[in-house]
Chains A and B, each alone.
Chain A
Amino acid sequence: MSILEARELRRSFATTTGVLRRRTDPVEAVRGVSFHIDRGEVFGLLGPNGAGKTTTIKMLITLLLPTSGSATILGHDVVAEPRAVRRRIGYVFGGDRGLYERLSALDNLRYFAELYAVPAREQAARIGELLEMVGLAGRERERVEGFSRGMRQRLHIARGLLHDPELLFLDEPSIGIDPVGARELRQTISGLREQGKTILLTTHYMFEADELCDRIAVITRGELVATGTPAELKARVSAGSVLEVEVFDGLGDRLSVVEALPGVRSATVTTGETSQTLVVSIDAGADVTGATLDALHGIRVGRVVSRQPTLEDAYVELVGS
């Protein structure tokens, strides 16, 4: 059963240029986005900066009105019934902001427990339970201004869960968190999934999406370009394999030579500190290793690896296409 239905959501903004002769132009941030999320699902919304992820989320959590289209959450329209929607959703965003710095973690949770109508007699138990869940039990009386970014993020999640929402929006929750903190955060999100929470997650980290999401939608320039399970996306975009060749000299015009080889879907270069990596996406069944190395004749070559495509390969192809 779908817990969220978005149909042809659109949102445009007016941008103004000039001082004396002001000109206002509309910019379409989201252009007809449709998707649904089933109960208990972790749904990833991936896309580059400015693709329309946050605008889409803000329409769904009732902070922005869509220019056209509609969306319902648990049967409630996000435009006509904002309060009913707000009672049923939680919203957590990444970064340092969104907490009262001068209050303790406990007081922050008390503050939002009141705003989110958590019954008075249940507040203490609920807050204690959530602090335990996010690993902040024992630190609750400390002021938030002394918290690390990882601790703040976990407190954010506790805040978003205070009223036990049926659907949780996590907008880039792991942004700027160190690897250990990010791993703890992923464990927290996994725990929520095991509890049966429905989650809409946006992230720039592909491994995070691959690990956590049941389904993923890729959005670019305001439009959804693909939707499916991580495995479907990988298969759909790159039914084949990936060849990585480490090179120590400039590639010059060899990149276009490799790109033109039969069986090669695309070729890109990533630059490291001491070398470059040529990433060649190959059609299913094709073997271009020999031909690629021939094309690189005269260039110092290091490690050569053939591997299955990752979600990141799929994402780069989808977003770049």
Chain B
Amino acid sequence: MNGLRRSARVLFTLWWLQLKIVAVSAFDGILNVIYPLFFATTAFLMFGQSGNPEALVYAGLGAAVMGTWSAMATSASGALQSQRWQGTLELLVCAPTRLALAVLPVTAALATVALYSLVATLVWGRVVFGIEVQIASPVAFVVALAVTLASLATFGFLLSVTVVRYRTGWALGNLLEYPGWLLCGFLVPLDLFPGWVQWLAQTLPPTWGMAAIRSAAAGQTPWGEIAVCAGLGLGYAVLATILSERLVDSARRNATLALT
């Protein structure tokens, strides 16, 4: 019990302090809002051509979550690299706390910041393009959003520990950004893709999160999708925790922690 309480305290304190690190940079803050708006605008203009209000609402919700995916994919892969540049990665590794507890708050803070982009996209769609997203089940909608962001944080956690040994690992995030837009069904229904793509998409938590958000907005029952999203997110966290220990051992063997 004490261990659990301590872990929760470490996660919360480090998340809050990481959030402070991200929040004090005006440049990062503006970028986090403007960058998703750029792509959301492109999507709104494309879907607006159909003249179908339902398609615009579909794009409005999709573009909002799409921004969070972009923020996480591009930032998480470079999160540990930036710790390495700052010289703090070695200190995180040589602390008695498990590396997983030190890294998860970093990606959780990134996911929290991604929430800005989500809200900004919804407001942008409403104000500039007149897209009114009706939320039929607000409680389910908020839960679906929270679970999606939490699962994005664990996805980022897995991504960051996977590339920690490679100094150009941050590039993987850029590589994943655009395929993720399609695979998670942000803008295009997954039914349009071949079976193997759909199968692949279902291993990604945001796919289920996106589906849950759409269901909640439409007044359908999203709880099954939320449960799968949460389960997958948890699975990613467990996998990342195991991987982080293995990768640290490997980095200690191969002397790759101090690479700059």
Contacts and interface: CB of A to CB of B under 8 A. Distances in A.
Given A63-B90, A91-B94, A100-B86, A114 B20 contact: no
Contact of B13 (A63, A65, A114): A114
A168 to B, nearest CB: 13
Interface string A77-102: 00000010011000101011111111
Nearest to B23: A102
A62 B252 contact: yes
Contacts of A43: none
Contact of B96 (A64, A86, A98, A159): A86
12 contacts: A61-B94, A62-B252, A63-B257, A97-B87, A100-B17, A103-B20, A112-B91, A115-B10, A115-B92, A115-B96, A117-B6, A159-B91
A86 B94 contact: yes
Contact of B97 (A101, A110, A115): A115
Interface residues of A, number: 33
B96 A111 contact: no
Contact of A63 (B6, B85, B88, B94): B94
A63 B86 contact: no
Contacts of B20: 102-103, 107
Contacts of B9: 114, 120
Interface string B1-22: 0000010011001100100110
A58 B97 CA distance: 18
Given A86-B96, A102-B25, A115-B95, 6 more contacts: A63-B258, A65-B249, A114-B97, A115-B96, A115-B97, A117-B96
A97 B86 contact: yes
Interface string A121-156: 000000000000000000000010000000000000
A37 B249 CA distance: 27
A248 interface: no
B86 A13 contact: no
B102 interface: yes
Q: 7 tightest A-B contacts by CB?
A: A97-B87, A98-B87, A115-B95, A86-B96, A87-B96, A102-B21, A114-B13
Interface string A30-66: 0000000000000000000000000000100111110
A64 to B, nearest CB: 6
A95 B255 contact: no
A102 B88 contact: no
A100 B88 contact: yes
Contacts of B21: 100, 102-103
Interface of B: 6, 9-10, 13-14, 17, 20-21, 24-25, 85-88, 90-97, 102, 249, 252-253, 255, 257-258
A116 interface: yes
Contacts of A93: 87
A64 B17 contact: no
Contacts of A87: 96
Contacts of B88: 97-100
B95 A86 contact: yes
Nearest to A97: B87
A73 to B, nearest CB: 12
A70 to B, nearest CB: 15
Contacts of B249: 65
Contacts of B95: 86, 112, 115-116
Nearest to B28: A102
Contacts of A91: 90-91, 94
Q: With a 10 A CB-CB cut-off, give which of A63, A83, A116 has the most chain B CB atoms.
A: A63
Nearest to B5: A120
Contact of B102 (A95, A100, A103, A115): A115
A2 B20 CA distance: 43
B92 A107 contact: no
A13 B257 CA distance: 13
B252 A111 contact: no
A95 B91 CA distance: 14
A150 to B, nearest CB: 17
B253 A65 contact: yes
Contacts of A163: 96
Contacts of A96: 87
A64 B86 contact: no
Most chain A CB within a 10 A radius of its CB, from B87, B96, B258:
B96
Contacts of B13: 110-111, 114
A125 B94 CA distance: 24
B86 A98 contact: yes
Nearest to A98: B87
